[in-house]
Amino acid sequence: MIDRNRRLAYVTAMAVLPIIVLPDPLLRKTSAPIERVDEKLQRLIDDMFETMYDAPGVGLAAVQVGVPRRLIVLDVGGEKEDERRPLVMLNPEIVRLGPELRMHEEGCLSIPDVRIEIERPSTATVRFTDRDGNVQEIDAEGLLATAVQHEIDHLNGKLIIDKLSRLKRDMVVRRFKKQAKGEPAD
């Protein structure tokens, strides 16, 4: 007998998605807006959180998992499950950046093992649609402000290495191109 009311585990389980890495050209594309919130999008959001927590990271843009859409997931809470503060932003836009700057060492899941000191505004007001389709606006500060700016950069085809001098950026890109070809990095 078939139980039609029981959902199969593989249908409801979240998945860790592969994260694309430099030099994948998709990372340089501008992401398209999200047009509707549906079950498929909800599944992508859940899978992105699972991927981000597994990596581990504090933010992930949909383009980093091969989906060039304006969606980011973030969590700057603690590492333990009861400390988590997951945040979903669909079509996020920065409304205002604060005048004070903050220096922070940033890493990127799409550029593994590279960390760069980057100066960004320490606060940002961000307007977005949440996973339920409601328009929200938040005032982010500190790590959340940095993470939001970093992930929105991804949606616009920008990477942290763009903050480096041309020489240093070219060195990083060359190393990742060699790794992509299976050659040993310098």
List 106, 141, 151, 183, catalytic entry: 151
Active site residue 81: no
- In the three-class reduction of DSSP (H, G, I as helix; E, B as strand; rest coil), residue 75 is classed as coil
How much of the chain exceeds pLDDT 70, in percent?
92
DSSP tag of 32: B
pLDDT profile of the chain (186 residues), mean per 10: 41 82 96 96 97 95 98 89 90 98 96 94 98 97 97 98 92 90 75
Of 104, 108, 56, the closest CA to residue 79 belongs to: 56
pLDDT at residue 23, rounded to an integer:
93
pLDDT at residue 12, rounded to an integer:
52
- Compute the distance between CA of residue 77 and CA of residue 147 in angstroms, rounded to an integer: 12
Which CATH number applies to 10-180? 3.90.45.10
pLDDT at residue 180, rounded to an integer:
85
pLDDT at residue 185, rounded to an integer:
63
pLDDT at residue 10, rounded to an integer:
44
pLDDT at residue 84, rounded to an integer:
84
Domain ranges of the chain: 10-180
pLDDT at residue 9, rounded to an integer:
41
Of 103, 102, 115, 100, the closest CA to residue 161 belongs to: 115
Give the list of residues 6+ apart from residue 164 with CB closer than 8 angstroms, or none: 116, 172
